[in-house]
């Protein structure tokens, strides 16, 4: 009867005896186990209320098998897919071991429980104890060292590592522990590996601490019990799928379960495992398969006892992939194989570029086969921690679709097997707070913590960007509490979080006219606004809670006390809801499991743990890192090497097969006796990686695609293939000969390389943005930017263009920016560095200008020098101590000089003047025949007086000159001119006659109007220097100083120098020279340096 029509079997009679014994069956792939398991599960159970047990190598295989069996069991008829998969317990091999060993709960010999007992022994160590000298020095450092506090978390790490080593001995070398326990039948190992002799003494002490049998004795007792009776917690029918290289003790344990009906499906690709001349790939990649076969079917087994090979569920496709698979199975090379795209090795660069290549490869596969669905594709990644961020960046669709998005963002992709500790923001917040206790509480750390989703949701900050500006302006750098400052050798309170928050509070309380005043130790922050008040309150509450936890986490304490503190951190700093509620539940679950693991083993008090010990425990906690299952939900799955190993997919992609990182190497451990005396059956990271490749090859149904690094991204130098990739290349060469070179595609370093979009590209790139960039290489060289079409028809008043004095100054001070604002709606901004975490030790010119400008403003407004100096000290901009005093003295001297020079002119009677000038251009600009200029000016006596802390810039000259010209044009005879007082020197502007003033003013406004509709190569400082001395050397010197902060220029002209714009025949014929003359020649006769 076909498997699809299997229906529930009748209930057997009570007299029917259960079937027992062990049966081993050979299958070539996981796909071949489905039908035999379905047939087995369809057979009647001895107890109709019992459950069967299905043991699989991973949760991914468990999920896939359950879905496949649900299509076959309990269906309503042939061809129907309404079956059910129930009353079957899914276990891993470790779960099967626990049931066969009858492990109690809690297990006193679990790695976690052993870790706590070892920790207790380590805390009682003395340097004088001869057997423990090695351990003592490892934990506490050499004689005269700083002690355990200089090696934070070392004791906990050592305890965990030793517990893992003892657990490995119990499973893989039980005779070692048996000898240390005094078994007379085993030669005692009193001095294992010389300096590792402490292990025997430590094992004996732990063994005496735990009542009842130890790990080795428990195994022996389980073997004896299974010989007499079935395991009480294990169903009669047990099906084991794809056991990989197990320890001999595991095989012994399973074979002892003779009172159960045990079926073992051994996966081995070869048609005849153990053949004398297997395929080279089977020889190089198949260590795990060969060992598993030898364990279950040893060489001494007779042919009659050897398991039969189950029928295969599919034939090999007539492709290169199918030919390669058939060669591995049969050991014979298939004739007449042609090159196709079923097996391709994609050579790329570093992980970010590999992910871009993978993205195009997947889009190509989906485009070629319209029937292919995301669920038919699996991406096996050798290093998810490295590649997961790049994968999310490349495939995450985001909340809002953007133009020119890559089509791969529409693929339903899910990253499985990812460390939940890395993707659970609540746990991340907890770990960051704990680590912050002994760190500095830096600006970036605290703001990053505040920006995390659980914290931001808790405190409801409405404008994170504005908050970043405020805390930077408040001078906050680092230090949540004074204790943190003292621990890092700094006792001053400036630049601390609380100091900056106090500055904001005083800024809210005092009026803007009193900014030079101070309140206690806080100077007001003048940039705060009323709408910032709520966010300031939330930030203050967050920092206060953070400070409480930083102070509370001092000194050692028992585990339970630490757990309660961690729960408080989660409760007081985070909140989650809806689909994200699992994050909080998972975090509390991790803490509960940690508490349960430590509690039973050590009692209520237990060893005292330091904060680094707790951090190490949480870092190493398997519950924190347990991945979330993400299989079988219809997504394209990206997983680690073992999650979906061997599960058939139409397309199998392998990512990150790079030389040096794949296959992984076993980490050397001089204390692990297994590494000092290796056996062929021992676990091996290299064998795992090669076995994964073999399973990936045999499970691919249509295509096998590899993405690996063949060049470096930094230098584009060649990199060799990893050895397993060379093995595959050689196997393809055996099939294809020299044509095998066509199976390797080498990708360019940049996604925007034009060759990625040529007809010869395999595959062609699908990236629209990269295509746009690449298309520029096919265009002719860019011509000079032409004037914009159109004018000011919608903005004119009686044919005139309205201007304010400030807008004219802004346009003439940066003509390229004016053009971008009005023609492209782009406002160029200066690229500023992110807020610094460091207290300044030296100040650059801009930082000194800010302090000096604030002091000068305060002093000119009537504050005393002492008040201004105190405010400068308290705003956090100065270095601490003598360094700050030296800088402040220089600034004070400059401010004093400016104040002295400005005192007399500013004491003249002041007057406010309103400006409104109507003028004509003479020659229209963009449809405008004239202008209307409005604004205001303040005069002192017969002059406009400007005082600036800067050294005088072209913009300041223009601002003063335009106001003088506007008042002169209006016929204000009272105003004779203007005066600019700057550092070390100044300038005086003389008011011309009204007609001349109107003519010059019209020229300036006309030039500003042109800047709105055409790009003018007119940098103000360079043009002023050139207008005074039309010499190329002078222009180059000025441009060298000006170009760095001229972002609008780089947007329009790149790195082109002003006098080269328009490709003039000579320096003097350049448009830049003509514009410099037009702007400055009318003004220079009016300007006099003083």
25/82 same-domain check: yes
Q: Is pLDDT at 540 greater than 90 in this prediction?
A: yes
Q: Are residues 186 and 274 in the same domain?
A: no
Q: Judge if 729 and 810 occupy the same domain.
A: no
Domain assignment present for 321: no
Phi then psi for residue 204, to 5 deg, are -65, -35
Quickly state the pLDDT bin for 420 (edges 50, 70, 90): low
Same domain, 151 and 274: no
Residues 155 and 188 in one domain: yes
Q: Are residues 308 and 433 in the same domain?
A: no
The whole-chain average pLDDT of the chain stands at 84
- Weakest mean pLDDT among 232-236, 276-280, 467-471: 276-280
pLDDT greater than 80 at residue 369: yes
Q: Are 563 and 664 part of one and the same domain?
A: no
Q: Is residue 882 one of the residues assigned to a domain?
A: no
- The CA angle 576-582-584, to the nearest 5 degrees, is 55
pTM of the prediction? 0.77
Sequence-ordered list of residues with C-beta below 8 angstroms from that of 768, at least 6 positions apart, any chain = 404, 405, 406
Nearest C-alpha neighbor of 669 from the set 166, 112, 180, 152: 166
- DSSP H or E run through 690: helix 685-699
- Residue 924: helix, strand or coil by DSSP? strand
Spatial contact of 264 and 296, defined as CB atoms under 8 Å apart: yes
Looking at the structure, do residues 615 and 654 belong to the same domain, yes or no?
no
Q: What is the largest CA-CA distance in the chain?
A: 125
Does pLDDT of 482 surpass 80?
A: yes
pLDDT tens across 737-792, in order?
A: 999 999 999 999 988 888 888 777 778 888 888 887 777 666 544 444 445 555 66
Task: Name every residue whose Cβ is closer than 8 Å to that of residue 306 and which is 6 or more positions away in sequence.
Answer: 297
Residue 770 makes CB contacts below 8 A (sequence gap 6+) with 750, 751, 752, 756, 757
Judged by phi (left if over 0) then psi (alpha if -120 to 50, else beta), residue 632 lies in left
Of 204, 222, 245, the one marking the end of a domain is 204
If asked whether residues 988 and 1077 sit together in one domain, one would say yes
How far out from the chain centre does Cα 437 lie?
23
CATH number reported for the structural domain that contains residue 739 in this entry: 3.40.50.300
Q: Exposure of 50 by Cβ count < 10 A (0-12 exposed, 13-18 middle, 19+ buried)?
A: middle
Q: What is the pLDDT of residue 253?
A: 94
**57 found inside a domain:** yes
585 has pLDDT over 60: yes
Handedness of CA 56, 61, 66, 68 (dihedral sign): negative
**Per-residue pLDDT, 734:** 92
Are the beta carbons of 118 and 162 closer than 8 angstroms?
yes
Do 154 and 59 share a structural domain? no
Question: Is 296 a domain residue?
Answer: yes
Give the DSSP letter of residue 668: P
- Per-residue model confidence (pLDDT) at position 566: 96
The residues facing 745 across adjacent strands are 346
Total structural domains in the chain?
A: 5
Confirm whether 900 is domain-assigned. no
1043-1056 pLDDT, tens digit per residue, is 776 777 877 777 77
Tell me how far apart the alpha carbons of residues 216 and 218 are, in angstroms, rounded to a whole number.
Answer: 5
Q: Choose the final residue of a domain: 204, 219, 243.
A: 204
Query: What does the pLDDT look like over 483-512, one tens digit per residue?
Result: 888 888 887 788 889 988 988 888 888 765
- State phi, psi for 239 to the nearest 5 degrees: -115, 120
- Is the domain of 594 the same as that of 634? no
Q: Answer with the one of 263, 293, 313 that is the final residue of a domain.
A: 313
Evaluate whether residue 108 is within a structural domain.
no
Which residue did the predictor score with more confidence, 161 or 299? Answer: 161
What secondary structure does DSSP assign to 539-585, as a single string? HHHHHHHHHHHHHHT-S-B-HHHHHHHHHHHHHHH----GGGHHHHH
CA angle 587, 91, 627 (to 5 degrees): 30
Q: Is the peptide bond before 404 cis (omega within 30 degrees of 0)?
A: no
β partners of residue 53: 89, 238
546 φ, ψ (degrees, to nearest 5): -65, -40
Read off the pLDDT of residues 700-719 as tens digits, 9 standing for 90 and up: 999 999 999 999 998 889 99
> Residue 346 and residue 704: Cα distance in Å, rounded?
11
pLDDT digits (tens, 9 = 90+) for 27-54: 999 999 999 999 888 888 777 778 899 9
Residue 748 domain-assigned? Answer: yes
Q: How many CB atoms are closer than 10 A to CB 677?
A: 12
For residue 214, tell me if it sits in a domain: no
User: Which run of H or E residues covers position 990?
Assistant: strand 986-990
Count other C-beta atoms under 10 Å from residue 225's C-beta: 16
Q: How far is CA 125 from CA 119, 121, 143, 180, 604, in A?
A: 10, 7, 15, 20, 22
Q: What domain range includes position 492?
A: 420-625
What radius of gyration, in Å, describes the C-alpha atoms of the chain?
A: 39
Mean pLDDT of 978-1007: 91
How far, in Å, are 206, 208, 594, 607, 1051 from residue 116 at the CA level? 10, 14, 11, 8, 63
pLDDT-derived band at 799, boundaries 50, 70, 90: confident
Q: Which of 433, 358, 423 is nearest to 395 (CA)?
A: 358
Q: Are residues 494 and 606 in the same domain?
A: yes
- So what's the pLDDT on residue 695? 95
* Residue 54, domain CATH: 3.40.50.10930
């Amino acid at each position: 009867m076909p498997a699809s029509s299997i229906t529930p079997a009748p209930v057997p009679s009570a007299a029917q005896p259960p079937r027992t014994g062990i049966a081993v069956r050979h299958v070539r792939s996981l796909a071949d186990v489905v039908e035999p398991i379905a047939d087995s599960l369809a057979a009647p159970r001895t107890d109709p209320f019992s459950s069967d047990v299905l043991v699989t190598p991973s949760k991914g295989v468990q999920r896939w098998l359950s879905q496949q069996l649900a299509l076959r069991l309990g269906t309503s008829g042939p061809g129907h897919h309404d079956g059910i998969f129930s009353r079957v317990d899914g276990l891993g091999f470790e779960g099967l071991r626990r049931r066969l060993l009858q492990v109690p709960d809690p297990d006193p010999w679990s790695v976690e429980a052993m870790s706590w007992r070892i920790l207790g022994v380590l805390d009682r160590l003395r340097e004088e104890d001869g057997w423990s000298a090695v351990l003592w020095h490892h934990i506490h450092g050499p004689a005269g060292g700083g002690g355990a506090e200089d090696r934070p978390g070392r004791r906990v790490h050592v305890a965990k590592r030793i517990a893992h080593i003892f657990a490995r001995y119990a499973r893989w070398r039980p005779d070692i522990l048996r000898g240390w326990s005094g078994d007379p039948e085993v030669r005692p190992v009193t001095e294992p590996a010389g300096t590792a002799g402490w292990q025997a003494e430590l094992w004996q002490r732990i063994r005496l601490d735990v009542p009842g049998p130890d790990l080795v004795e428990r195994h022996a007792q389980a073997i004896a019990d299974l010989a007499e009776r079935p395991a009480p917690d294990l169903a009669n029918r047990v099906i084991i799928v794809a056991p990989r290289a197990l320890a001999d003790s595991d095989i012994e344990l399973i074979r002892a379960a003779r009172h159960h009906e045990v079926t073992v499906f051994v996966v081995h690709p070869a048609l005849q495992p153990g053949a004398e001349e297997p395929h080279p790939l089977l020889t190089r990649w198949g260590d795990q398969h060969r060992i598993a076969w030898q364990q279950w079917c040893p060489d001494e087994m007779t042919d009659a006892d050897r398991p039969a090979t189950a029928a295969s569920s599919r034939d090999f496709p007539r492709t290169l992939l199918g030919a390669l698979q058939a060669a591995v199975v049969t050991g014979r090379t298939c004739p007449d194989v042609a090159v196709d795209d079923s097996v391709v090795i994609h050579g790329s660069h570093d992980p970010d570029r590999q992910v871009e290549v993978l993205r195009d490869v997947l889009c190509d596969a989906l485009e070629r086969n319209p029937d292919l669905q995301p669920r038919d594709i699996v991406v096996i990644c050798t290093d998810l921690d490295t590649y997961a961020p790049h994968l999310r960046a490349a495939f995450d669709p985001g909340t809002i679709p953007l133009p020119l998005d890559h089509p791969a963002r529409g693929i339903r992709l899910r990253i499985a097997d990812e460390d939940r500790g890395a993707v659970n923001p609540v746990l991340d917040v907890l770990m960051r707070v704990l680590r912050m206790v002994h760190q500095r509480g830096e600006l970036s750390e605290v703001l990053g913590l505040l920006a995390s989703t659980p914290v931001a949701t808790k405190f409801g900050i409405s404008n994170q960007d504005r908050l970043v500006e405020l805390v930077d302006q408040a001078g906050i750098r680092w230090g949540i509490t004074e204790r943190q400052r003292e621990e890092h050798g700094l006792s001053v309170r400036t630049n601390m979080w609380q100091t900056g928050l106090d500055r904001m509070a005083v800024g809210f309380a005092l009026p803007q006219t009193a900014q030079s005043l101070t309140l206690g130790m806080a100077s007001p922050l003048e940039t705060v606004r009323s709408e910032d008040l709520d966010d300031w309150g939330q930030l203050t509450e967050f920092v206060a809670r953070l400070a409480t936890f930083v102070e509370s986490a001092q000194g050692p304490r028992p585990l339970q006390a630490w757990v309660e503190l961690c729960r408080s951190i989660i409760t007081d700093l985070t909140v989650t809801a809806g689909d994200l509620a699992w994050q909080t539940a998972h975090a509390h679950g991790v803490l509960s499991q940690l508490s349960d693991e430590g509690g039973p083993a050590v009692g209520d008090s237990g060893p005292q743990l330091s904060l680094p010990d707790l951090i190490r425990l949480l870092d190493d906690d398997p519950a924190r890192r347990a991945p979330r299952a993400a299989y079988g939900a219809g997504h394209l799955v990206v997983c680690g090497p073992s999650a979906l190993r061997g599960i058939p997919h139409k397309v199998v992609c392998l990512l990150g097969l790079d030389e040096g990182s794949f296959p992984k190497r076993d980490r050397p451990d001089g204390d692990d006796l297994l590494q000092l005396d290796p056996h062929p059956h021992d676990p091996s990271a290299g064998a795992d990686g090669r076995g994964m490749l073999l399973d990936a090859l045999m499970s691919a149904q249509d295509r096998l695609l590899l993405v690996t690094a063949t060049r470096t991204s930094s230098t584009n130098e060649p990199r060799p293939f990893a050895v397993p990739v060379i093995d595959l290349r050689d196997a393809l060469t055996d099939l294809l000969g020299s044509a095998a070179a066509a199976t390797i595609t080498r990708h360019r370093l940049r996604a925007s390389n034009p060759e990625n979009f040529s007809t010869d590209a395999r595959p062609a790139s699908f990236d629209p943005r990269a295509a746009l960039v690449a298309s520029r290489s096919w265009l002719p060289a860019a011509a000079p930017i032409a004037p914009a079409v159109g004018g000011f028809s919608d903005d004119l008043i009686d044919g005139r263009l309205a201007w304010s004095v400030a807008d004219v100054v802004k346009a003439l001070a940066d003509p390229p920016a004016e053009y971008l604002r009005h023609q492209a709606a782009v406002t160029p901004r200066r690229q500023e560095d992110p807020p610094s975490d460091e207290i300044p030790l030296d100040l650059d010119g801009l930082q000194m200008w800010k302090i000096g400008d604030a002091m000068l403003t305060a002093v000119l407004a009537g504050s005393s020098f002492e008040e201004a100096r105190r405010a400068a000290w308290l705003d956090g901009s100065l270095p601490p101590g003598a360094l700050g005093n030296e800088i402040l003295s220089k600034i004070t001297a400059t401010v004093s000089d400016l104040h002295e020079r400005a005192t007399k002119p500013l004491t003249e009677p002041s007057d406010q003047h309103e400006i409104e000038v109507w003028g004509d251009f003479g020659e229209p600009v963009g449809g405008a025949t004239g202008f209307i200029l409005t604004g205001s000016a303040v005069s002192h006596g017969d002059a406009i007086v400007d005082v600036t802390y800067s050294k005088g810039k072209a913009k300041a000259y223009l601002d003063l000159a335009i106001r003088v010209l506007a008042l002169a044009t209006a016929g204000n005879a009272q105003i004779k001119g203007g005066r600019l007082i700057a550092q070390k020197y100044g300038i005086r502007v003389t008011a011309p006659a009204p007609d001349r003033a109107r003519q010059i003013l019209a020229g300036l406004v006309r030039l500003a109007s042109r800047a709105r509709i055409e790009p003018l190569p007119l940098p103000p400082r360079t043009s002023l220097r050139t207008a005074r001395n039309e010499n190329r050397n002078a222009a180059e010197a000025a441009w060298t100083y000006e170009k760095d902060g001229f972002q609008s220029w780089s947007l329009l002209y790149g790195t082109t120098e002003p006098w080269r714009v328009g490709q003039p025949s000579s320096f003097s014929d350049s448009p830049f020279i003509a514009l410099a003359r037009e702007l400055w020649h009318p003004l220079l006769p009016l300007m006099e340096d003083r």
